[in-house]
Amino acid sequence: MNEPVDRSALRHQAVTRTAIVGAILNSLLAAVKIVVGVLGQSQALVADGIHSLSDLLSDFLVLIAGRRASQGPDGDHPYGHARYETVATLLLGLLLIAVSIGIAWDAVHRLFDPQALLQPGILTLAAALLSILVKEWLYWWTLAYAKRVKSDLLRANAWHHRTDAVSSVVVLVGIAGTMAGLVYLDAVAAVVVAVMIAKIGWDLGWNAIHELVDTGLESDRLNEVRATIRSVGGVRDVHMLRTRRYAGQVSADVHVLVDPFVSVSEGHMISLLVEHRLKRDIDEITDVTVHIDPEDDDRVPPTLALPLRAEVLARLASLWSAVPEANERERVVLHYLAGKIDLEVHFPIAACLRQGADVSRLRKLLADALKDDARFGEVRVLFCDASTST
Reading the chain (390 residues) residue by residue, the pLDDT tens digits are 444 444 555 656 776 777 788 888 888 888 888 888 888 777 667 877 877 776 676 556 655 655 565 566 777 766 666 677 677 777 777 877 877 787 677 667 766 655 544 456 677 778 888 888 988 898 898 888 877 766 655 666 676 677 677 777 777 776 777 777 766 766 677 777 778 778 877 887 888 788 787 788 889 999 999 999 999 999 999 999 999 887 667 889 999 999 999 999 999 999 999 999 999 998 888 889 999 999 887 777 777 889 999 999 999 999 999 888 888 888 999 999 988 999 999 988 776 666 555 678 888 999 999 999 999 999 999 887 655 544
Share the mean pLDDT of the chain.
79
CA 36, 39, 42, 44 torsion-angle sign: positive
CATH number at 154 reads 1.20.1510.10
Same domain, 277 and 321: no
Residue type at position 81: H
Q: What is the pTM of this model?
A: 0.64
Distance CA 33, CA 72 (A): 40
| Structural Rg of the chain based on CA atoms | 33
Is 322 inside any structural domain? yes
Does 89 map to a domain?
Answer: yes
DSSP secondary structure, 48-106, as one string: HHHHHHHHHHHHHHHHHHHHHHTS---SS-TT-STHHHHHHHHHHHHHHHHHHHHHHHH
298 in a structural domain: no
Same-domain check for residues 114 and 227: no
Judge whether 304 lies within some domain: no
Q: Is residue 303 part of a domain?
A: no
Question: What are the pLDDT digits (tens) for 24-42?
Answer: 888 888 888 888 888 877 7
Check whether residue 225 and residue 190 sit in a common domain: no
Is there a single domain that holds both residue 262 and residue 286? Answer: yes
Q: Are residues 77 and 179 in the same domain?
A: yes
Residues 267 and 321 in one domain: no
Taking phi first (over 0 means left), then psi (-120 to 50 degrees means alpha), and beta for anything else, what does residue 234 get? left
User: Which domain, by its residues, includes 40?
Assistant: 3-212
The β-bridge relationship of strands 249-257 and 237-246 is antiparallel
- Contact between 196 and 167 under an 8 Å Cβ cutoff? The reply is yes
- 81: closest CA among 70, 93, 95? 70
Give the count of domains, the chain: 3
Cα dihedral across residues 38, 40, 44, 49: positive or negative: negative
**Which residues are CB-neighbours of 228 under 8 A, at least 6 positions away?**
277, 278, 281, 282
Residue 151 lies in a domain: yes
Same domain? For 32 and 181 the reply is yes
- Residue 108 burial by CB count (10 A; 0-12/13-18/19+): exposed, middle or buried? middle
Same domain, 224 and 132: no
Residue 380 lies in a domain: yes
Integer Cα distance of 50 and 118 in angstroms: 17
Chosen domain end from 212, 236, 268: 212
> Which CATH number does the domain housing residue 241 bear?
3.30.70.1350
Give the DSSP H or E segment for 346: strand 340-348
Say if residue 60 is in the same domain as residue 207: yes
Half-sphere exposure in the Cβ direction for 266 (13 Å, CA): 11
Amino acid in the structure at residue 296:
D
- Taking only the tens place, the pLDDT of each residue in 47-91 is 778 777 766 765 566 556 555 655 667 777 666 666 776 777 777
